[in-house]
Every structure is written in structure tokens, then in C-alpha cells.
């Protein structure tokens, strides 16, 4: 029950037709990533690269490429872990249905980490340059570890049960790193390792860090699982993997004995170096910034080690399936974490943190006939104060008394909100606050604004599904398109400065105000510049990606006949979001034409990937 290591998983996937081997030599510099992207786009299998140029180790990608494959890897434990979540959220369930939950306690015993002998694990000491140095995107600063399990401990409460295991990207070479001696450690806001480093910094001591790569897939899943503070990810790895997490201490560093590779090192106070750029999951590069420097102590690998990696880019990508798996495991936890909130959904197509949808409850004043957001605003504040949900840039929240909508049907959710929104009341801004580190729409790294859109009540309007004639006759508009019911996209000139933008959009506002009768069913107007939208408003991926990744609410939200009343900004006509590219935005991710051409050999007749051409 459960895989002992990554090779066990590989053989099981291959036996069940869910893995393909690539025997031809492949270049870790851009080629491997481009192959992965192409196979993932076609819903293909996991990919085992047998022959890496300049490296003796094998590599595997797309392990978690589909939700079905992810659930297959945890087929023996998935339901038991779901039951554990149910019991944590609703302990009374065990009393009501004792037979159903009888075996859950025994499964939980697998969660306890197990100390064992390091010498029995079969590790050999190697160097960073011996590892598969995979570069994913043309402008990346070097090679990165994209499925790391980064381990650290609380200095005041040492031991594996007080540890943090997170997936924080690691830069192995490039920039000013001293090869084989220094690597980059990139972690963002609301990460457990930050708490650990804060404590050692105060004592002017280095933080010991171990980076595990490979091992059973349960270990990678544990590293991204949003567990409550105080619960060790190692216990989750044991529960979902059906096998206790085995570890040993070597030179004071914790080592995962089932991992394929381990890097140990120390992070010293105030010792940072530039890390990045890196092609990230918003679909843009995260640029080079100072991040902690990990001084390498030792690097270990097993003889038959396999290097797992993924490629992130404009969603959906493999991390989308990760998110879907996490939702299936822990989705029932949200109503218990935030009272009154029935469901939340960080929209993957918008890069996760830029757009969050939520369904809450309105229970404050059931005796009033005039329905309006009240408790929803309390719940919105609670959401924005909860873990990584606090990184949301746009939060749309509504109450659904009839239970007819859900957050994952994005079109139906927006339609419900836009039919009910009162633009003079329902827009609530937070300025000069924190946003996702990877989001460059704001004023600087981690700096930006938020917009809470809280709409509730009776339906106010029929949404329009045709372009207002006035827009077709405006000579300053290059193109117009319906993005969904009630939402129009307008192409204007490329963005230059915010001063110029205010003049351009003021002209648009006045023009719409003069023709306002044509806009009764239009709630939102999105300004864009260099993008061609698919002529299919049922597919909202382009709409949510362009609109919510390329705009900063406080700077880029305008409105027809806008006004400020007692510091509350509002508008009487449609709200306008300027989603054009700004000079401070990060570049988009694009595979080079020459890389596309170079990987054609893998898909030709008789080649390993012929089936996926």
C-alpha cells in the first residue's frame, strides 16, 4: 500500500499506460520544458526522460498533469484522507457513522514520521553541477528546481513535528551564485519558512534548510498542501502516501530517506543575492530580486535517482491539476475555517491570486425586504485575513440563497454578480497593501491594491450580449468584442503613462455617458491593447487572464460618471478596467521558435513521442 519511492510510482504508471519514455538525448536547456508543455496541452502522460545531455540522471515531468492521474497515484489512501479532513472539521460525524470512520484512525497511524538509519538509504555525495540543470524559459536566470520540498524547523521547538515543508523554488546556477557553493531560495509572503528564518535572524544564527527532490509523489503533494499552522506536512505525506515519512539527521540537517536527491545548507541573516528571472505561473516572468542565499553544505543522490520537475506558465498548466487535487481533498474545510463562507475558488486561469471568487451567507437581517451586502463584507475581510487567501487582488463575493451557482462555474458566477451589482455601493478598495510577489501590476514587489466586489440581492438588470452601437461608431476605438454577458472589451492605443491614460479614458467615459441608454446591460468594460480574443464568450480564460493579471485596482479602475462620497468611490455607469500592458509589467512567457523547431525530432515517425505529434 503506497509507493516506497519514485521508481515504484514510475513502474506503476507505465504498467497502466500513463507514462511514456523518451530515449533520445534531450537538452535540459529549454528543450525538456518545451516537450513538457506540448504533451501537457494534449492531456498526455507522464514523461520519463532517459537521456539528458550532460547528466547521468533521468528526469520525469507531468506526474500530476491530470486530476485523474493524481488520484490514481493515491488510489489506496485518497478516501481515507478525505475522511480525516471531514473528522477534523466535524468530529461528531464519527459518532453518527462509526462504521464508516472506523478505519480512519488506523490510517492516521501512517502519518507519524519514522526515524531510520541514513546509511541504509543508499545516498552518495555529489555536487550541484551533477544535477539535471533544467532551464525552462529563454529569459530564466539559470536552472531551477521546480518541484522541491524545502524543509526547515522552528528553532524554539525543534523536531520533525514542528517542521515546515514547502515548495519554494530553488535557483541552482546563474546570476552571481558561486557554483556548487551557493543557490537561491525564493519564498514569498505567508510561508512557514519565513517564520523560522525570522526566529534565527533574531538570534543572529543561520537557518538550517534541507531541499528534498523526488521520493514518493505524496511528498511533493505535502509540500504544496495548505495545512493549518501547527500541523506538520510530514504527517500529511505519510497519510496520503500510505507510508510513514522516513528521515534521519546528518550533520544537524534533516534528510528524507526516501527522496532521490537532497541538498543541505544554511541561510545566514541578511545574506541575500539576486534570484530570477523565472517564468512563473501567472504567464509572465517574475523578475530578479534579492532573496535568501542558501550556502550549500552537502548534496546527496541515489544511484538510480530520478529528478522530477514541472513547467509553470500561463495557466492552465500542471500546477492546475495540483490545485484541483487539493480542492478535492480539503474543499470541505473552508466552511469550518471561515464561518458563513460556503465556498471559495482561486481562479487558476487568472494565475490564482489575482482573482478569488467566494460564496458567502447573508444572515444578519432576514427580516428586511431590501437585500444588500452586510455579512458578506465581514466574510470578505475574514477571507483577506486568512493565509494565502489574503494575497487575493480581486475578490468577488456573493450570497446564493437558492444554491444555484458555484465558484467553479466562472461564467455563471460572474453573471449572477453582474446581474445584481450596484456600482454606487458594491466596490470596496484597499490601497497601498500587499499582493502576490509574482504579480507585477502594482507599485513594486509585493505592493499593490485590492478590490472587493460584494454583490447581493434581487436581480437588477438583464445583461447585454451585443456590442452597443455607439462603440462601433467611435473612431478612437480600434476594436470591440463581447467577452461575456455584460462585459465588453475595447482595444485602445498602447499604454504610455498614467497621465495619458486618464485623458484617454476620460474621453471614453464622457462618450459612454452621452450614449448611456445603450449601456443598460453593460456592467464592465475592459481596455486592452495587443491581444486577440477567441470569438467564443463561453471560454472565459482570456478574459480573466488579461483583465485580472494586468490591472492594479486602485490605479486601473475607472467608471462612467464616477464620484467619491465620504471616501467611498463609486460610479453610475459601467466600471472600466484598464488591462493594457504597462511599462513596469513583466514580459510574457513565449517558447522560442527555434526551440519549437528543435523538438520536432521527438515527434517524428518512429520517435518516442510520435503518438503526441
Which pLDDT value is given to residue 99? Answer: 40
Burial class (CB in 10 A: 0-12, 13-18, 19+), 498: exposed
Q: Which residues constitute the domain of residue 199?
A: 6-73+112-309
Considering the domain boundaries, does residue 302 fall inside one? yes
Task: Mean pLDDT check: name the lowest of 243-257, 309-323, 568-582, 585-599.
Answer: 309-323
* Across 21-49, average pLDDT: 97
Reported as a pLDDT band with limits 50, 70 and 90, residue 190 is low
User: Same domain for 141 and 47?
Assistant: yes
Considering the domain boundaries, does residue 460 fall inside one? no
Backbone dihedral angles phi then psi of residue 502, each to the nearest 5 degrees: -60, -40
Considering the domain boundaries, does residue 267 fall inside one? yes
Would you say residue 507 has pLDDT above 90?
Answer: yes
Reported as a pLDDT band with limits 50, 70 and 90, residue 104 is very low
Instruction: Confirm if 470 and 490 have CB atoms less than 8 A apart.
Output: no
Which pLDDT value is given to residue 95? Answer: 35
β-strand pairing of 568-571 with 487-491: unpaired
User: Same domain for 186 and 281?
Assistant: yes
Query: Nearest CA to 465 among 418, 533, 508?
Result: 418
User: Same domain for 48 and 116?
Assistant: yes
User: Same domain for 267 and 289?
Assistant: yes
Better-scored residue on pLDDT, 28 or 197: 28
Domain count, the chain: 3
Which pLDDT value is given to residue 536? Answer: 67
User: Same domain for 474 and 427?
Assistant: no
Would you say residue 102 has pLDDT above 70?
Answer: no
* Across 72-79, average pLDDT: 85
How many Å is the maximal CA-CA distance in the chain? 79
In Å, how far from its chain's centre is CA 555?
A: 24
Final residue belonging to a domain, choices 289, 309, 329: 309
Considering the domain boundaries, does residue 124 fall inside one? yes
Final residue belonging to a domain, choices 426, 455, 484: 455
Would you say residue 98 has pLDDT above 50?
Answer: no
User: Same domain for 324 and 414?
Assistant: yes
Question: What percentage of the chain has pLDDT greater than the value 90?
Answer: 71
Considering the domain boundaries, does residue 491 fall inside one? yes
* Across 349-360, average pLDDT: 93
User: Same domain for 48 and 194?
Assistant: yes
Task: Mean pLDDT check: name the lowest of 148-162, 398-412, 487-501, 538-552.
Answer: 398-412
Which pLDDT value is given to residue 392? Answer: 93
Considering the domain boundaries, does residue 95 fall inside one? no
Better-scored residue on pLDDT, 557 or 102: 557
Instruction: Confirm if 317 and 179 have CB atoms less than 8 A apart.
Output: no
User: Same domain for 323 and 297?
Assistant: no
**Sheet order of strands, 575-578 included:** 479-484, 487-491, 524-528, 575-578, 557-559
Which pLDDT value is given to residue 329? Answer: 80
CATH label of the domain that carries residue 249: 2.30.110.10
Which pLDDT value is given to residue 535? Answer: 66
H or E segment and range at residue 247:
strand 246-250
Would you say residue 189 has pLDDT above 60?
Answer: no
Query: Nearest CA to 301 among 9, 55, 57?
Result: 57
CATH label of the domain that carries residue 430: 3.40.1670.10
Which pLDDT value is given to residue 179? Answer: 97
Would you say residue 370 has pLDDT above 60?
Answer: yes
For 173, which DSSP code?
A: S
Considering the domain boundaries, does residue 275 fall inside one? yes
Which pLDDT value is given to residue 564? Answer: 97
Considering the domain boundaries, does residue 594 fall inside one? no
Reported as a pLDDT band with limits 50, 70 and 90, residue 106 is very low
User: Same domain for 122 and 254?
Assistant: yes
Better-scored residue on pLDDT, 244 or 368: 244
Listing DSSP states for 397-429 in one string gives EEE-TT----TT-HHHHHHHHHHH--TTTSEEE
HSE value, Cβ hemisphere, 13 Å, CA-based, for 517: 0
H or E segment and range at residue 219:
helix 217-224
Rounded to the nearest integer, the mean pLDDT of the chain is: 90
Which pLDDT value is given to residue 398? Answer: 96
Query: Nearest CA to 445 among 317, 578, 275?
Result: 275
User: Same domain for 117 and 254?
Assistant: yes
Would you say residue 593 has pLDDT above 50?
Answer: yes
Which pLDDT value is given to residue 575? Answer: 98
User: Same domain for 298 and 153?
Assistant: yes
Residues 6+ apart with CB under 8 A from 233: 163, 164, 165, 166, 222, 223, 225, 227
Which pLDDT value is given to residue 103? Answer: 47
User: Same domain for 292 and 333?
Assistant: no
Burial class (CB in 10 A: 0-12, 13-18, 19+), 331: middle
Would you say residue 97 has pLDDT above 50?
Answer: no
Final residue belonging to a domain, choices 455, 486, 508: 455
Amino acid at each position: 500500500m503506497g509507493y516506497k519511492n519514485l521508481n515504484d510510482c514510475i513502474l506503476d504508471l507505465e504498467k497502466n499506460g500513463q507514462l511514456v519514455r523518451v530515449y533520445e538525448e534531450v537538452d535540459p536547456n529549454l528543450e525538456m520544458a518545451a516537450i513538457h508543455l506540448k504533451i501537457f496541452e494534449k492531456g498526455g502522460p507522464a514523461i520519463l526522460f532517459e537521456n539528458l545531455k550532460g547528466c547521468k540522471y533521468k528526469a520525469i515531468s507531468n506526474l500530476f498533469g491530470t486530476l485523474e492521474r493524481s488520484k490514481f497515484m493515491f488510489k489506496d489512501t485518497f478516501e481515507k484522507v478525505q475522511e480525516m479532513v471531514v473528522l477534523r472539521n466535524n468530529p461528531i460525524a464519527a459518532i453518527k457513522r462509526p462504521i464508516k470512520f472506523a478505519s480512519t484512525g488506523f490510517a492516521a497511524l501512517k502519518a507519524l514520521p519514522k526515524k531510520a538509519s541514513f546509511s541504509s538509504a543508499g545516498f552518495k555525495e555529489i555536487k550541484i553541477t551533477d544535477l539535471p540543470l533544467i532551464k525552462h524559459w529563454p529569459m530564466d536566470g539559470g536552472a531551477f528546481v521546480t518541484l522541491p520540498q524545502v524543509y526547515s524547523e522552528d528553532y524554539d521547538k525543534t523536531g520533525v513535528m514542528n517542521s515546515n515543508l514547502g515548495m519554494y523554488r530553488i535557483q541552482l546556477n546563474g546570476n552571481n551564485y558561486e557554483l556548487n557553493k551557493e543557490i537561491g531560495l525564493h519564498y514569498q509572503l505567508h510561508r512557514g519558512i519565513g517564520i523560522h528564518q525570522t526566529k534565527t535572524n533574531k538570534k543572529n544564527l543561520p537557518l538550517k534548510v534541507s531541499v528534498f527532490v523526488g521520493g514518493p509523489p505524496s511528498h511533493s503533494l505535502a509540500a504544496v498542501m495548505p495545512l493549518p499552522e501547527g500541523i506538520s506536512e510530514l504527517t500529511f505525506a505519510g497519510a496520503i502516501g500510505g507510508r510513514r515519512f522516513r528521515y534521519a539527521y546528518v550533520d544537524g540537517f534533516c534528510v528524507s530517506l526516501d527522496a532521490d536527491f537532497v541538498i543541505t545548507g544554511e541561510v545566514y541573516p541578511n545574506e541575500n543575492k539576486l534570484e530570477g528571472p523565472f517564468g512563473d505561473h501567472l504567464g509572465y516572468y517574475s523578475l530578479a530580486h534579492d532573496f535568501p542565499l542558501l550556502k550549500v553544505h552537502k548534496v546527496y543522490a541515489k544511484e538510480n535517482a530520478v529528478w522530477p520537475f514541472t513547467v509553470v506558465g500561463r495557466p492552465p498548466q500542471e500546477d492546475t491539476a495540483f490545485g484541483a487535487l487539493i480542492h478535492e481533498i480539503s474543499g470541505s474545510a473552508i466552511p469550518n475555517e471561515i464561518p458563513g463562507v460556503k465556498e471559495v475558488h482561486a481562479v487558476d486561469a487568472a494565475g490564482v491570486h489575482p482573482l478569488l471568487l467566494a460564496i458567502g451567507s447573508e444572515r444578519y437581517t432576514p427580516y428586511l425586504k431590501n437585500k444588500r451586502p452586510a455579512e458578506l463584507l465581514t466574510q470578505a475581510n475574514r477571507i483577506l485575513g486568512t493565509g494565502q487567501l489574503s494575497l487575493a487582488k480581486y475578490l468577488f463575493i456573493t450570497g446564493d440563497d437558492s444554491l444555484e451557482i458555484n465558484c467553479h462555474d466562472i461564467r455563471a458566477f460572474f453573471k449572477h454578480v453582474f446581474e445584481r451589482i450596484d456600482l454606487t455601493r458594491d466596490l470596496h478598495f484597499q490601497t497601498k497593501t500587499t499582493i502576490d510577489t509574482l504579480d507585477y501590476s502594482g507599485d513594486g514587489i509585493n505592493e499593490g491594491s485590492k478590490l472587493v466586489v460584494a454583490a447581493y440581492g434581487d436581480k437588477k438588470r438583464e445583461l447585454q450580449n451585443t456590442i452597443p452601437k455607439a462603440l462601433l461608431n467611435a473612431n478612437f476605438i480600434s476594436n470591440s468584442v463581447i467577452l461575456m454577458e455584460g462585459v465588453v472589451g475595447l482595444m485602445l492605443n498602447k499604454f504610455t503613462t498614467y497621465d495619458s491614460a486618464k485623458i484617454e479614458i476620460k474621453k471614453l467615459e464622457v462618450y459612454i455617458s452621452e450614449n448611456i441608454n445603450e449601456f443598460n446591460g453593460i456592467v464592465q468594460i475592459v481596455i486592452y491593447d495587443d491581444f486577440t480574443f477567441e470569438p467564443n464568450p463561453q471560454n472565459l480564460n482570456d478574459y480573466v487572464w488579461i483583465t485580472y493579471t494586468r490591472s492594479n485596482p486602485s490605479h486601473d479602475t475607472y467608471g462612467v460618471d464616477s464620484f467619491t462620497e465620504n471616501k467611498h468611490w463609486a460610479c453610475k455607469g459601467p466600471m472600466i478596467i484598464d488591462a493594457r500592458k504597462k511599462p513596469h509589467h513583466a514580459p510574457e512567457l513565449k517558447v522560442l521558435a527555434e526551440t519549437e523547431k528543435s523538438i520536432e525530432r521527438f515527434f517524428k515517425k518512429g520517435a518516442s513521442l510520435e503518438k503526441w505529434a
